[in-house]
Structure 1
Amino acid sequence: MKFKFAFICLSLATCATSAMATTLKLGPDIELIVVDGRKVPAPLLKGAGSLELNGGDHQLLFRVNKTTDVRKGMKEVFHSNGLIATFNTHNQSAITIHLPDLSTPKLRKQFKQKAHYQLMGDHNQPISATTDRITLTEADLNGDIEKKMIAYNSAALPASVPALTALPPSQPVTPPANDANAEPLTPAADKTDPFILMQYWFQKADQKTRQRFLQWAAGNDGQ
């Protein structure tokens, strides 16, 4: 499989889509974790309804986080296993992750065991995808999840992508037109440096998503 590494930019539903890009629409229950081997910082996805993928092959790692009613006045959050999907965006302007009904404990248990879902393309038609699931712990999510995905892709598993076993150096990110004096950013050689990673993804975000992130950061200052 010829794998094209993603150039990703966070966007809102109202943002224009480039001619070569496919919009991945993110439902409120979807937590996107890794795209094409790269961890996506969660704060920059807050308020973003979609992201843009270059044409070609892609691999996602995500999970479902769904708030459910346990009993009257009490709620809990259902977390699925880690879900991996490998697919091609060819001839698709938009792709949506379509989840099954998860309204009952039985359905949620079945989903955690088998994780049936579909990627839907244009005209609400399913597109071909190879899927798998992995166990995710809080240590995985807070640690080097990229390393876990490298191990997965090295193991010849159903949705493995051999091209992602060794990630190439990231290409510089061109600053937006309204920030022409800014220097292009690349992730640090040490991919665990949170400051450099946040700078990298911040410059890829649209202006409204940047503002949401700054508001979130201000509200969490000192915590």
Structure 2
Amino acid sequence: MTLKRVLLKPITLCVLLGLSSSAFANVVINIPSEVDVLAANGQEAEIEGGLFSSTKSLTLPDGENQIVFRYNPVFKQGNDQTTVTTDAIITKFTASDTELNFDLPKYRNADLARDFDRNPNWKLVDENGNTIEVKQDKLLKPGVQLGRNYDQESVAYNKTGGVAAIAPATAAVATTATVEASAAAPQMPANSQYKTTEEQMLHYWYEKADKETKQRFLQSIIQAK
């Protein structure tokens, strides 16, 4: 069986992106349900896992990264639930080839949780239990908070040189390796057999994969028919 005449399907592109991500990006942040990651490296955060998924994560390249997040703990009060929405935190850190988890304070009730804005005592912990050094600040905006553009706000923050600011070169790195994968693929000549860049990338990464990955890839296409 060959891949040359297989039609591109959504699952095909998902596998392609998975291959490119694993090839380039080596820092994975697991995101608990009470955390909203709002931006990463001056761009919209590309969260893996659906809205109602029990497991969500963000894949970033090795080195210095910046994320914007908000802590939203939920508390039961009788038959009702109360969600405490904190200020947006902008933070930078440096890590490579690791999996990170949020270590967040545990509050007994909503009133106590509101202290997070005054004392944002949280950590990023790697897979070995080591605390990653972070620099953090508030990403504040006066007035109405609806419809905020956190990626643009973080870019503007970086220009101020704040404690959690990153250099423009760092901010230009994609939150996943999709852009890098596109650049790595050979340029498509005018008379190419491929109809789109996505199709070309699919063939490119297929040839890069090992035998077992190719077999799983082809099986996923067969099952999708």
TM-score in terms of structure 2 length:
0.60
Please report how far the alpha carbon of residue 166 of structure 1 lies from its aligned counterpart in structure 2 after TM superposition: 7.4
In the other structure, the counterpart of 2:63 is 56
In the other structure, the counterpart of 2:214 is none
CA distance in 1 between counterparts of 2:116 and 2:93 reads 21
In the other structure, the counterpart of 1:72 is 78
**What's the CA shift string for 1:71-107, capped at 9, x where partnerless?**
31111211111011201113x5211111111232343
Q: Against the structure 1 CA distance between its residues 135 and 55, is the aligned structure 2 distance closer, same or farther, given a 3 Å change threshold?
A: same
**What's the CA shift string for 1:193-223, capped at 9, x where partnerless?**
xxxxxxxxxxxxxx9xxxxxxxxxxxxxxxx
In the other structure, the counterpart of 2:28 is 23
Q: Are 1:93 and 2:101 an aligned pair?
A: no
CA distance in 2 between counterparts of 1:35 and 1:45 reads 18
Aligned runs of 1:133-144 on 2, under 5 Å? 133-135=138-140, 142-144=147-149
CA distance in 2 between counterparts of 1:161 and 1:28 reads 27
Greater Rg by CA:
2
Q: Are 1:34 and 2:42 an aligned pair?
A: no
In the other structure, the counterpart of 1:149 is 154
Structure 2 counterpart SS, 1:102? coil
CA distance in 2 between counterparts of 1:56 and 1:166 reads 12
Structure 2 counterpart SS, 1:52? strand
Aligned runs of 1:148-167 on 2, under 5 Å? 148-163=153-168, 167=172
In the other structure, the counterpart of 1:211 is none
In the other structure, the counterpart of 2:210 is none
Q: Against the structure 1 CA distance between its residues 111 and 56, is the aligned structure 2 distance closer, same or farther, given a 3 Å change threshold?
A: same
- Root-mean-square deviation (CA, aligned residues, Å) is 3.6
Q: Which amino acid aligns with 1:62?
A: F
In the other structure, the counterpart of 1:124 is 129
Structure 1 counterpart SS, 2:102? strand
In the other structure, the counterpart of 2:207 is none
TM-score in terms of structure 1 length:
0.61
Please report how far the alpha carbon of residue 138 of structure 1 lies from its aligned counterpart in structure 2 after TM superposition: 9.2
Instruction: Show structure 2 runs of 5+ residues with no match.
Output: 1-13, 15-20, 183-193, 199-216, 218-225
CA distance in 2 between counterparts of 1:17 and 1:138 reads 41
Q: Identity over the aligned pairs, expressed in percent? A: 16
Q: 1:171 aligns with which of 176, 179, 192?
A: 179
**What's the CA shift string for 1:10-49, capped at 9, x where partnerless?**
xxxxxx9558512111111111110100013679752252
Please report how far the alpha carbon of residue 51 of structure 1 lies from its aligned counterpart in structure 2 after TM superposition: 2.4
